[in-house]
DNA sequence: TATATTGTAACTTCAATTGTTACATGATAG
DNA sequence: CTATCATGTAACAATTGAAGTTACAATATA
């Protein structure tokens, strides 16, 4: 999806779900399902009918990797059995407490790192990469941008 | 499995796969499958026949949470598409590079944290917990240790 | 020899994800 | 107004990976 958003930043016409599906080698319905999260978060907009499709709805500088992860779902990295009944075994309680503590720290770091990178940063990386290689968005000559 | 190993530390007879399965509310074959990794790493030994079962094969102070994670499998926390064909799209290459970097840092921290906790530490926690509550390994009075 | 145990292969089940089909809704061109 | 192209979404099928199950061989002990 990152992939798609960056392409959208360099494309002033809407992308249809079908075009996006081709980029990701999947199918249009799956694309639409995934994009719902991004739309609800206000990162993209969709237009129906002829000439419709998906366009960016905000500045890439305002979207971080963490935002994308949350919008797309599945951002809970470690299932620490939240909401389950407290274990009756004292050993289990001790083990859970120790693991929770460790995993929370790791998750906190990851969240921090993901929140520190905006899509605008990635786009800047991409531009630098292209300049260094003398490429356009479609690659040097024969390569396909997907 | 942590659960099981700590119980084993306080139990000088072998545990059968069936007993362990009951603790974990699963079944004996699944237990054996999982224990294979621990046995290959040298943390436990198994004995066949009457009176057989599983016993610890090393000092809990020499096993870290990281070791367990590796031995039990699935310690790769983030699938960064390793070993796949390099993406032909330049956007994708840039995105992958940025993500890899971020995820590697998070993984490194997690590894460090997991490697810092030995099972002996957990057992010590458990003992402290028991002393504080006046419990034996089976809980205060009526509770079942599983 | 009978019994209790691990070792392991083969199969089934289950849940989650992904893909597919079908059709309704809406926008625009002619 | 109608044909066409797009999203929106529900319902269903296919795929996948993990977990559970069954069956039986191998081994150790009473």
- Would you state the pLDDT for residue A138? 59
- The domain containing residue B7 runs over which residues? 2-133
Judge whether A15 lies within some domain. Answer: yes
Tell if the pTM clears 0.85, that is, is over it.
Answer: no
Judge whether B140 lies within some domain. Answer: no
SS3 string of chain A?
A: CHHHHHHHHCCCCCECHHHHHHHCCCCHHHHHHHHHHHHHCCCEEEECCCCCEEEECCCHHHCEHHHHHHHHCCCCCCCCCCCCCCCCCHHHHHHHHHHHHHHHHHHHHHHHHHHCCEHHHHHHHHHHHHHHHCCECCECCCCCCC
* pLDDT higher than threshold 80 for residue B129: yes
Strand D bases near protein CB (under 7 Å) are: 4-11, 18-23, 26-30
Judge whether A141 lies within some domain. Answer: no
pLDDT in tens, B55-72: 999 999 999 999 999 999
Chains A, B: CB contacts within 8 A come to 117
- Would you state the pLDDT for residue B135? 67
φ, ψ for residue A58, nearest 5 deg: -155, 175
Residue A141 token pair: 């000559």
Verify if strand C has an atom below 7 Å from the CB of B32.
yes
The total number of residues shown for chain B amounts to: 146
pLDDT in tens, A40-62: 999 999 999 999 999 999 999 99
- Would you state the pLDDT for residue B101? 87
Verify if strand C has an atom below 7 Å from the CB of A77.
no
Verify if strand D has an atom below 7 Å from the CB of A35.
yes
The larger pLDDT score, comparing residue A145 to residue A86, is at A86
Under an 8 A CB cutoff, do A117 and B110 touch? Answer: no
**Distance between CA B43 and CA B63 in Å, rounded?**
8
The CATH number assigned to the domain holding A125 equals: 1.10.10.10
Closest residue to C6 (CA, C1′): B48
Judge whether B49 lies within some domain. Answer: yes
- What is the tally of structural domains in chain B? 1
Judge whether A78 lies within some domain. Answer: yes
């Amino acid at each position: 999806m990152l992939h798609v958003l960056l392409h959208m930043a360099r494309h002033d016409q809407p992308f249809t779900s079908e075009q996006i599906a081709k980029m990701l080698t999947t199918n249009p319905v799956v694309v639409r399902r995934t994009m719902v999260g991004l739309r609800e978060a206000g990162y993209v907009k969709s237009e129906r009918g002829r000439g419709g499709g998906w366009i960016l709805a905000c500045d890439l500088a305002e979207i971080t990797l963490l935002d994308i992860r949350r919008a797309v779902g599945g951002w809970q990295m470690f299932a620490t059995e939240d909401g389950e009944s407290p274990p009756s075994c004292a050993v289990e309680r001790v083990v859970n407490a120790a693991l929770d503590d460790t995993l929370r720290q790791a998750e906190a770091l990851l969240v921090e790192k993901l929140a520190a990178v905006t899509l605008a940063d990635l786009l800047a990386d991409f531009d630098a990469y292209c300049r260094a290689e003398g490429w356009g968005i479609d690659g040097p000559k024969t390569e396909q941008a997907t």
